[in-house]
Amino acid sequence: MINTAHTPLPETVAELTEMINSLVREHERSTHENNLLREEIRLLRAKLFGKKSEKPALYDESPQLSLFDMPEPAEIEPEPETIEVPAHTRTKRGRKPLPEELPRVELVHDIDEADKQCGCGAPLSKIGEDVCEKLDIIPAVIRVIRHVRPKYGCRQCEGIETKNATVTIAPAPKQIIPKGIATAGLLAHILTAKFCDALPFYRQEKQFARLGVELGRATMGNWAIKAATACGPVLALLHTEIRSGPLINIDETTVQVLDEPNRSPTTKSYMWVCRGGPPDKPVIIYRYAPSRSSTVAQALLQGYKGVVQTDGYVGYDYLDHHPDVLHGGCLAHVRRKFDEAKKARGKTATKTGGADVALHYIGALYRIESEAKKAELSAEELVKIRQEKARKIFAEFYAWLAKKKTQVVPKSLLGKAVNYALSQWARLLVYLDHGSMTPDNNRAENAIRPFVLGRKNWLFAGTPEGAQASGDLFSLIETAKANGLEPYKYLRYLFEKIPCATSEDDYRALLPSQLKPADLDIGDRVTGV
């Protein structure tokens, strides 16, 4: 920038004009840069202090008005003089009844026998009772299962060398961790607590100490790795099952592994997640990888033929040219970028800006999906509705984006959102022709959320083996949940049965898709595991 305080003014008109033009250009550049920086600051403030939900106000069905953002009087519609209330069934208010399947302990609080006589002298008769149910809980009870195997020997052959054994004993029961002290129930409890309830091993170590048992976090970590290894055949079948459906959703997130060969402990690694399989029997697979390279996605999708839905990460670009794969995009990521552009404008900006127009188009597309979901349409009916309504909205949206691209600053948040939407356009249209798809990749993001929640508590994995074991156990637990199975019951059932499985049919029978909740009812039985 020209420093006029130390530079003498030019003497000619031409030189003075050139100086003014230079100052104007510098001012325009500074103003433009300043606007971009202010935009980024407003977005950062919105992320730090604003609401985290991405749900647009368009879908907010709550009648609750904002305490600090009340509408102007002119915006409030006048109350009608008459109100017609249609006939309806009123739901009884109050807390929900406790589940019927829970065991009941009945405590009778009766009056004294002396009080069961009326003032007239006649005895009182029972005419009813008042019942009030309270919820109670018994803390975890640790017990020891003693496996007793009687030994039998021949007194007559004692001390005589013979080919036949003189001592006979029943074979030891098969266990998922041979020679270990963990039963299937204990192992299922520990792994469910960590991978389903996000309770790290070091916290469980303290819980066990309070119950009077010394059980170290390193021991639990070793058990987790051994359990995942023992479940290898079932996990291999899950990898086969996930490729049998019409759609796979894929996403990835970071994970820190401390002891990786030839890598710093602070280097980022990744946990990849795929959700696929038959629509009514979904499969969720987690795979640890030290990198975010597209080769990981290629390995996960090897041999698959169908639709793959992803976000806009460049590592998935190879799918656009894959002969057996149709690459679908994510409308939620497009919406997110326009939502960020809207937040960066601040509250004083007009509500008819470019970001609002884009969000209006996207909202209209999601309304179609919401109405179709309420109507419980079949896949064929859903495709028909999308072709009739959504495709027309997409055409208008594209025309607006193409025009807007020539009007916005490319480096601004709105410019970036417009360019991102146009770059993903072909992928965004894929869901229109496939009833098994949704407009976005939220299925994969929802599948990866339990891992992210757990990561906030246990922070990192110790070794690559531990990271992959975590992925394997997440695969079993999340697939069980997706198929309507209770995670602890499924893991206990799996750990009891898998030591005795010998054939592929035996392992296939242990897949979550092959089981029903009733199959997992274990009661209080004591097994050999």
| DSSP 3-state of 220 | helix
Q: Would you list the DSSP string of 475-498?
A: HHHHHHHHTT--HHHHHHHHHHHG
Q: Is the pLDDT of residue 62 over 60?
A: no
Indicate the pTM of the whole model: 0.79
pLDDT of residue 471 exceeding 90, the answer is yes
* Range list of β-strands (E), 87-241: 151-153, 167-169
Check whether 410 has a pLDDT greater than 90.
no
- Residue 75: what pLDDT? 38
Average pLDDT, the chain: 84
| C-alpha distances in Å from residue 51, one per residue of 47, 48, 54, 513 | 7, 9, 8, 38
522 — pLDDT class (breaks 50, 70, 90) = low
Residue keyed to tokens 């008769």: 125
- End-to-end alpha-carbon separation of the chain, Å? 79
**Distance between CA atoms of residues 467 and 520, nearest Å:** 28
259 pLDDT higher than 50: yes
Instruction: Give the per-residue pLDDT at 456.
Output: 84
Give residue-wise pLDDT tens across range 112-165. 888 888 888 888 888 889 998 888 888 778 889 898 999 888 877 766 666 665
> What pLDDT does 80 receive?
46
Task: Check residue 481 and give its pLDDT.
Answer: 95
Least confident of 25-34, 260-269, 377-386, 452-461: 25-34
pLDDT in tens, 491-508: 999 999 999 999 999 999
Confidence of residue 461 (pLDDT cuts 50, 70, 90): confident
| Residue 27 pLDDT level (bands cut at 50, 70, 90) | confident
Q: Is the pLDDT of residue 74 over 60?
A: no
Span 504-521, average pLDDT: 93
399 token code pair: 């025309």
Q: What is the pLDDT of residue 45?
A: 65
pLDDT given for residue 66 in this prediction: 43
Least confident of 81-95, 126-140, 174-188, 273-287: 81-95
Lowest-confidence region among 25-39, 108-122, 217-231, 392-406: 25-39
Q: Residue 420 contacts by C-beta under 8 Å, 6 or more apart in sequence?
A: 312, 333, 334, 337
- The mean pLDDT value for 446-472 works out to 89
How many whole angstroms separate alpha carbon 311 and alpha carbon 274?
Answer: 13
In this prediction, residues 411-431 reach a mean pLDDT of 93
